[in-house]
A and B are shown apart, each in its own frame.
Chain A
Amino acid sequence: MTEKKALLQVKHLKQYFKNGRHTTKAVDDVSFDIYEGETFGLVGESGSGKTTTGRSILQLYHPTSGEILFDGQDVAKLKSRSDQLAFRRQAQMIFQDPYASLNPRMTVEDIIAEGLDIHGLVKDKDERRKRVEELLETVGLNKNHASRFPHEFSGGQRQRIGIARALAVKPKFIVADEPISALDVSIQAQVVNLMIELQKKRGLTYLFIAHDLSMVKFISDRIGVMHFGKLLEVGPADEVYDHPLHDYTKSLISAVPIPDPEIERSRKRLTYDANKEEFDGKKRTMHEIRPGHFVRCADDEVAHYEAVAQSYE
């Protein structure tokens, strides 16, 4: 663990939204690291704050408090435009809805090259065109598609365009916010395979946000589980999936439908009541129960989770 370098460190991130007199604590004291070259999966239900976390990391919101260190540098403290631009070049995003995230009035070439233009990465039109064509081929599209408009493409193809756009500025880190949930099953696999292949070739680091646990487990090296704005459990993907510690993680895993009728017929669903933890007034922090496997709990609950971890052995 120690020789791996943390590319991104999220420390006590809080992101509150004021709505009249009411404050929504969308992300409430969340801390985790993402190591260089790995895929960190963030799962949770809608409203758990996983998307907000991703967006706060990229400074699409201004975090209420907490630090986000990228390559050791606090991204909230980047004041000059050139520093901010440099960060945005390093960290890109792939959005959930391929139908809403591409400007319908721009050609594919202009969509993909927008980042190149902003960062001044190409000298002239020919080079711009050449780069776009390369990118299209990288993501498995035909290079002649550059002059077309988004409506001429299917959902899977559009998501490839979104990936090409993110890759254009050669980032180190990509936040992928539910990149496959709007796609059909057979197309999901294509996009996931493409993302894995690109990661291998270019040494990318991903924050993969999704609610589909089976796919997250498949693509991620480590997984974080969020619920009501709090990070409840973090650990290696197989550990979290096969040996979940937190009751919420267990309930989430027990709800995932498996394409095997026999397993489905014997499924036992576990339910989780968040009130139990929310209102007992105990102070909870992350505790390492097994190497690299953390769970959010109070000091007097550590023994309980030790026992849970023991029960898997």
Chain B
Amino acid sequence: MPERILDVKNLKIDFHTYAGEVKAIRDVSFHLNQGETLAIVGESGSGKSVTTRSIIGLLAKNAKVMGGEINFHGKNLLSLSEKEWQKIRGNEIAMIFQDPMTSLDPTMKIGQQIAEPLIKHKGVSKKEAWKKALEMMKAVGIPNAEERINQYPHQFSGGMRQRIVIAIALICEPEILLADEPTTALDVTVQAEILDLMKDLQKRVKTSIIFITHDLGVVAGMADRVAVMYAGEFLEYGTVDDIFYNPQHPYTWGLINSMPTLESEKLEAIPGTPPDLLDPPKGDPFAPRNAYAMRIDVERKPPFFQVSPTHFAATWLLAPGAPEVEPPLEIQRRWKKFKAMQASADKGE
């Protein structure tokens, strides 16, 4: 059993707005294993960013935690004071933000920005920190580091800035790295480089990563485990193979099916839009857009059904006595592949 480094239990977060209470996170539980990458996928507004921000204590002022706990080294992070947060943030838990254009200080030399966490958290001398910053710049692949350490963010391209952000996040060798769409603003070729870099550094620094994205292609390459989030809830989670080859929730089917594959003739779009979380639906939140929805989906929220020891999905389709449905062709193709993979794994053992 891998060691659990982070344990989130029954997290509930509301946002106070003029229109009313937006129930952004509605009873979310998950854990992060030592050294793994957990990807949280979902559309904008599904609550994935709010979930990670709560783990690093950076929720907006109008957010209110309505319940639950986030356990990290025996402490409930939700009960920390701002003083205590400052000791953890950037030190034991670090974050990479989506937009490298806005997450750096334009008035500070980048060397200073990379060295700052070391000086603040580890009490390292300025000179020593500067040396470490230089090493880190080389590690994240910034050419001419000696020269560029004295430059300002505007002198770097988007990809280089994201490397700097990664250098800042990793310089204290955090136990948990939160990456909120770290490559969404980048070109595909640059994205591929940054993802390779993150995988490489993860091995070296031995950090655990929570990776947020809406790009299933990126997830397939980065994640050990995947959680699918929708309307403030987790609908399905499992290993990357469970989710990509043996998906059970119709929303996961829809997500996979709406991506163009090499053979697809027509894109299968998910109709409609996500529900309004001012007044969240009481049943399965995906039911109104779900072609496979049953009457019970609208009325009662499905619990998590266990598919395998690593794989859980909250859909009534898995309930005993539920009707057999035929998933989209692409999903059937993937199921077949999953069976074949299992069969060959059994043989191998």
- Report A's interface with B, CB cutoff 8 A: 45-46, 154-157, 184-190, 192-193, 196, 211-215, 217-218, 251-252, 254-261, 263-265, 267, 269, 271-272
Say whether B342 faces chain A, with CB atoms less than 8 Å apart: no
B258 close to A45 (CB less than 8 A):
no
A251 close to B43 (CB less than 8 A):
no
**What are the 4 closest A-B residue pairs judged by CB atoms, nearest first?**
A257-B217, A189-B269, A264-B221, A218-B260
A186 close to B43 (CB less than 8 A):
yes
Indicate whether A186 sits within 8 Å of B254 (C-beta atoms), given known contacts A45-B188, A215-B260.
Answer: yes
Q: Majority SS of interface residues in chain A?
A: helix
In the complex, which residues of chain A have a beta carbon less than 8 angstroms from the beta carbon of B155? none
How distant is B173 from chain A, measured CB to nearest CB, in Å? 26
How long is the Cα–Cα vector from A255 to B215 in the complex, in angstroms?
Answer: 14
A211 close to B188 (CB less than 8 A):
yes
- Give the contact-size bracket for chain B: 35 or more
Could you list 10 examples of A-B contacts with CB < 8 Å?
Answer: A185-B259, A186-B270, A189-B259, A189-B270, A196-B266, A214-B217, A252-B189, A255-B191, A257-B188, A267-B221
Say whether B196 faces chain A, with CB atoms less than 8 Å apart: yes
How long is the Cα–Cα vector from A217 to B187 in the complex, in angstroms?
Answer: 17
Say whether B105 faces chain A, with CB atoms less than 8 Å apart: no
- Report B's interface with A, CB cutoff 8 A: 43-44, 158, 187-192, 195-196, 214-221, 240-241, 244-245, 254-256, 258-260, 264, 266-271, 273
A259 close to B258 (CB less than 8 A):
no
In the complex, which residues of chain A have a beta carbon less than 8 angstroms from the beta carbon of B270? 186, 189-190
* Closest A residue to B43 using CB positions: A184
In the complex, which residues of chain A have a beta carbon less than 8 angstroms from the beta carbon of B266? 193, 196
How distant is A169 from chain B, measured CB to nearest CB, in Å? 27
Indicate whether A45 sits within 8 Å of B240 (C-beta atoms), given known contacts A214-B260, A218-B267.
Answer: no
In the complex, which residues of chain B have a beta carbon less than 8 angstroms from the beta carbon of A265? 221
* Closest A residue to B191 using CB positions: A255
A189 close to B267 (CB less than 8 A):
yes
- For B260, give its contact among A154, A217, A257, A261 (CB under 8 Å): A217
A259 close to B244 (CB less than 8 A):
yes
How distant is B160 from chain A, measured CB to nearest CB, in Å? 14
Number of A-B contacts (CB under 8 A): 103
B268 close to A189 (CB less than 8 A):
yes
How distant is B324 from chain A, measured CB to nearest CB, in Å? 25
How distant is A260 from chain B, measured CB to nearest CB, in Å? 6
Indicate whether A190 sits within 8 Å of B271 (C-beta atoms), given known contacts A258-B220, A259-B256, A264-B221.
Answer: yes
Indicate whether A186 sits within 8 Å of B218 (C-beta atoms), given known contacts A45-B187, A255-B189.
Answer: no
How distant is B45 from chain A, measured CB to nearest CB, in Å? 9
Indicate whether A213 sits within 8 Å of B217 (C-beta atoms), given known contacts A186-B43, A189-B268.
Answer: no
* Closest A residue to B240 using CB positions: A261
- For B220, give its contact among A215, A261, A269 (CB under 8 Å): A261
B44 close to A259 (CB less than 8 A):
no
In the complex, which residues of chain A have a beta carbon less than 8 angstroms from the beta carbon of B254? 186
In the complex, which residues of chain A have a beta carbon less than 8 angstroms from the beta carbon of B241? 261
Besides A189-B258, A259-B244, A269-B196, 4 more A-B contacts (Cβ < 8 Å) are A211-B187, A218-B264, A252-B189, A258-B217
How distant is A61 from chain B, measured CB to nearest CB, in Å? 23
Indicate whether A185 sits within 8 Å of B43 (C-beta atoms), given known contacts A215-B260, A264-B220.
Answer: yes
How distant is B100 from chain A, measured CB to nearest CB, in Å? 13
* Closest B residue to A217 using CB positions: B260
In the complex, which residues of chain A have a beta carbon less than 8 angstroms from the beta carbon of B256? 259
- For A260, give its contact among B187, B189, B191, B220 (CB under 8 Å): B220
How distant is B255 from chain A, measured CB to nearest CB, in Å? 6
* Closest A residue to B230 using CB positions: A186
How long is the Cα–Cα vector from A45 to B185 in the complex, in angstroms?
Answer: 12
A260 close to B244 (CB less than 8 A):
yes
How long is the Cα–Cα vector from A211 to B187 in the complex, in angstroms?
Answer: 7
* Closest B residue to A215 using CB positions: B260
How long is the Cα–Cα vector from A212 to B270 in the complex, in angstroms?
Answer: 20
A186 close to B260 (CB less than 8 A):
no
How long is the Cα–Cα vector from A245 to B96 in the complex, in angstroms?
Answer: 37
How distant is B8 from chain A, measured CB to nearest CB, in Å? 24
B260 close to A184 (CB less than 8 A):
no
How long is the Cα–Cα vector from A22 to B278 in the complex, in angstroms?
Answer: 53
A185 close to B215 (CB less than 8 A):
yes
A185 close to B196 (CB less than 8 A):
no
How distant is B4 from chain A, measured CB to nearest CB, in Å? 23
How long is the Cα–Cα vector from A155 to B274 in the complex, in angstroms?
Answer: 12
How distant is A139 from chain B, measured CB to nearest CB, in Å? 14
How long is the Cα–Cα vector from A188 to B269 in the complex, in angstroms?
Answer: 8
* Closest A residue to B258 using CB positions: A189
How long is the Cα–Cα vector from A196 to B245 in the complex, in angstroms?
Answer: 29
How long is the Cα–Cα vector from A156 to B269 in the complex, in angstroms?
Answer: 12
B269 close to A193 (CB less than 8 A):
yes
How long is the Cα–Cα vector from A46 to B185 in the complex, in angstroms?
Answer: 10
A184 close to B259 (CB less than 8 A):
no
Indicate whether A259 sits within 8 Å of B189 (C-beta atoms), given known contacts A189-B258, A190-B271.
Answer: no
In the complex, which residues of chain B have a beta carbon less than 8 angstroms from the beta carbon of A188? 258
- For B255, give its contact among A186, A190, A254 (CB under 8 Å): A186
A185 close to B221 (CB less than 8 A):
no
B189 close to A186 (CB less than 8 A):
no
In the complex, which residues of chain A have a beta carbon less than 8 angstroms from the beta carbon of B214? 184-185
* Closest A residue to B267 using CB positions: A189
How distant is B227 from chain A, measured CB to nearest CB, in Å? 15
A154 close to B217 (CB less than 8 A):
no
